[in-house]
Amino acid sequence: MLLGPSGCGKTTLLKLVNRLYEPTRGRITVDGTDIHALPAPALRRRIGYVIQQSGLFPHMRISENIGIVPTLLKWDKARIATRVDELLDLVGLPPADYRRRYPAQLSGGEQQRVGLARALAADPSTLLMDEPFGAVDAITRTRLQDELRQIHTRFRQTVLFVTHDIEEAVRLADEIVVMREGRVVQFATPMRIVMEPVDSFVANLVGANDVLRRLSLVSVSEVLTPLAGPVGPVEPRLQRAARLRDALGALLESGADRVVVIDDDARPLGTVDLGVIQRAGTRSGAGWPAEPAVGFSGQQGSV
Amino acid sequence: MPGLGGFVAGDIGTGHDRVAARLTAEKGYPDLMGLLRDTLQYIQENPEKFQQALSVHVRLSVAALALAILIFLPMGVLASRNTRVGPSLLNAVAAIRVIPSLAVLFLLYPYLGEIRRLIPFLQPTFALALLALTALAGPPLVVNTDAGLRNVDAAVLENARGLGMSPTQVFFKVQFPLALPVVIAGIRTAAVEVVASATLASFIGVGGLGTFITSGVTLLDNKLLLVGAIPVTLLALLAETLLGAVERFVAPPAA
């Protein structure tokens, strides 16, 4: 996840990877091979690319848009058609309804889904995403982020994602690169960035002083108090993937003393009370591991 | 044409309208419908002459348009891609625009011999008219092709490259298709101009529908004038409508 203010060089860095910009010096490798070992078009066909406002080609049908890279790779027609339907299903657009439409006949969120499907078409091991959800409304954005997370969990591509939205970065990233004026100022997990910003620039950018943001980085399962005794039927329940921020919300809303953390089969695992949340919320942040697994589960070197 | 000679000498300089009005009265044209009936009757009575003229007119126009597309469309592509040559090319084309086609015809008329040697397979006057009309069709083609190609969103083109298209593929699969409606609009403008101006070819004896117009004017015969003018108008409208339909067809669908 590349994070930073406008003009800090996030997009430039991204475009260096698929050689839309050429480096003046230095070396970039993707999957261990130098990106200059291949002709640029061949390299780009192996790297998925998604930009803001989808960048769909208005004169091509949805199926043609998604099939671009497979067509460039000279797959046969039947294989492309199958792949297109598969991808439309993956991004939640019924193929029968969508394949023959044109981009202008889709909403912004749907276009962005198609943009993602197009990038995934030839099953690239690396995805470059340049503020892909920057132009859609907040509700759609959250939904698309969740879907991206699911897709990533399933296929485990390396994703290089540009954003200026700290919420998005924290929500999706395994690791965040904070950039300023063309330089990397910090490279760490979202947790570390928020808890231990290297300077006041990073602290301001990520809102490190925002206690609720810090709470949103810690999952309840990391800090829960193991169960001692039975739990009441009316106590609020939370899934173990929920964050402390959710726990605080549940406490405030229900007026209960503690929330019960449950596993996927609704079995209680432990409890979280206000004291736990308070300890986690203090800046020194005692009581939880320094590098917990947050963001994408099943990460594979995604930045 | 009995009865005409008497006032032609005296009135020819005073404006065709007045003459036409008198002609109408004298020859007993009761109304416009009568004039149109006579026009139609003339065409019916001289089908070969009319078809011959129509055929020359259409062949001349189509040939000029086709030749112009072959020459000037690539020129527009060049103008859009080459930042050094582009602007001067567009200026040159704008300069061509101010030269009247009729002037081209008369200026080049003395060189028919050279034209015959250069283009031996065509009638020299036809070839000369073809050259003049091709030049006439040039500016809208170059200007529209250039503008259409340059107005394609740069982000879309970069995205096409980012997906792994070669420069040739970016041009033929994305940039040109997206510019096509504007290019076709240029062809449409050119076609209308060519069809209308092909009437001038009759001045150097090529034939075409202009022959009737020229004769009609000289003989002060409105019916004859319309035998040329109405089909030319209809041809121009036809070209406009057909190419307008093509333009809409190639435009990417909106919501």
What pLDDT, on a 0 to 100 scale, did the predictor assign at position A283? Answer: 56
Q: Return the CATH class of domain A219-281.
A: alpha beta
Element (H, E) at B236: helix B222-250
**Phi (first) and psi of residue A250, to 5 degrees:** -65, -40
Query: Of A35-39, A42-46, A214-218, A281-285, which gets the smallest average pLDDT?
Result: A281-285
Q: Which residues contact A59 (CB under 8 A, 6 or more apart)?
A: A102, B177, B178, B252
Residue at token pair 């982000």: B155
Please judge whether A20 and B162 are an interchain contact, meaning their C-beta atoms are less than 8 angstroms apart.
Answer: yes
- Neighbouring residues of B54: CB distance < 8 A, sequence distance ≥ 6: B209, B231
Question: CA A131 to CA A121: how far, in whole Å?
Answer: 19
The model's pLDDT over B239-253, given as tens digits with 9 standing for 90+, comes to 999 999 998 888 887
DSSP states of A247-269 = HHHHHHHH--SEEEEE-TTS-EE
Handedness of CA B43, B4, B24, B21 (dihedral sign): positive
CA B209 – CA B245 distance, rounded (Å): 26
For residue B21, the model assigns a pLDDT of 57
Chain B residues closer than 8 Å to A120 by CB:
none
Spatial separation of the C-alpha atoms in residues B47 and B64, rounded to whole Å: 25
Q: Does A102 touch chain B (CB under 8 A)?
A: yes
Neighbours of A44 (CB within 10 A): 26
Q: Which of A51, A68, A104 sits opposite B252 (nearest CB)?
A: A104
Where residue B211 falls among pLDDT bands split at 50, 70, 90?
A: confident
Residue B10: pLDDT over 70? no
pLDDT of res. B26: 55
Over residues A152-171, the mean pLDDT reads 84
Mean pLDDT of chain B: 82
Distance CA A81, CA A191 (A): 42
DSSP string, B67-112: HHHHHHHHHHHHHHH-TTHHHHHHHHHHHHHTS-HHHHHHHHGGGH
Residue with structure tokens 């930009």? A51
Over residues A100-115, the mean pLDDT reads 88
Which three-class secondary structure string do you get for B33-62? HHHHHHHHHHHHHCHHHHHHHHHHHHHHHH
CB A276, CB A201: distance < 8 Å: no
- pLDDT of the residue at A12: 87
For chain B, list the domains and their CATH numbers.
Answer: 14-250 (1.10.3720.10)
Contacts 24+ apart (CB under 8 A), B170-173: none
- Give residue A205's pLDDT: 82
The structure tokens listed for A131 are 């503020």
Q: Do B162 and A69 touch (CB under 8 A)?
A: no
Report which secondary-structure segment, H or E, holds B118: helix B112-118
Task: From chain A, pick out residues whose CB is under 8 angstroms from the CB of B161.
Answer: 20, 40-41, 44
Q: In what order do the strands lie in the sheet with A126-130?
A: A47-51, A126-130, A158-163, A2-3, A176-180, A183-188
Residues B160, A45: C-beta atoms closer than 8 Å: no
Query: What is the structure's pLDDT at B22?
Result: 54
Instruction: Establish if A20 touches chain B: CB-CB under 8 angstroms.
Output: yes
Q: What is the CA radius of gyration of chain B?
A: 23
DSSP states of A99-131: TT--GGGS-HHHHHHHHHHHHHTT--SEEEEES
Q: Which CATH superfamily is domain A2-206 in?
A: P-loop containing nucleotide triphosphate hydrolases (3.40.50.300)
pLDDT in the model for residue B17:
59
In DSSP notation, B167-200 reads: HHHIIIIIIHHHHHHHHHHHHHHHHHHHHHHGGG
Residue B164 and residue A102: Cβ atoms within 8 Å?
A: no
Task: Select from A20, A53, A105 the Cβ nearest to the Cβ of B158.
Answer: A20
Contact B253 A57 (CB under 8 A): no
Q: Where are the domains of chain A?
A: 2-206, 219-281
Identify the closest residue of chain B to A51 by CA–CA distance.
Answer: B159
Name which of A68, A112, A123 to mutate to probe chain B: the one with the most chain B Cβ atoms within 10 A of its Cβ.
Answer: A68
Confidence at A44, pLDDT banded by 50, 70, 90? confident
Of B155, B177, B255, the CB nearest to A105: B255
| pLDDT exceeds cutoff 70 at A214 | yes
Among candidate residues B148, B18, B29, the one with its CA nearest the CA of residue B79: B148
- Which range (B14-18, B114-118, B171-175, B232-236) has the least confidence? B14-18
Tell me the per-residue pLDDT of B66-99, one tens digit each, with 9 for 90 and over.
999 999 999 999 988 878 888 888 888 888 778 7
What percent of chain A shows pLDDT beyond 90? 3
CB contact under 8 A, B165 and A72: yes
Collapsing DSSP to helix, strand or coil, A36 comes out as helix
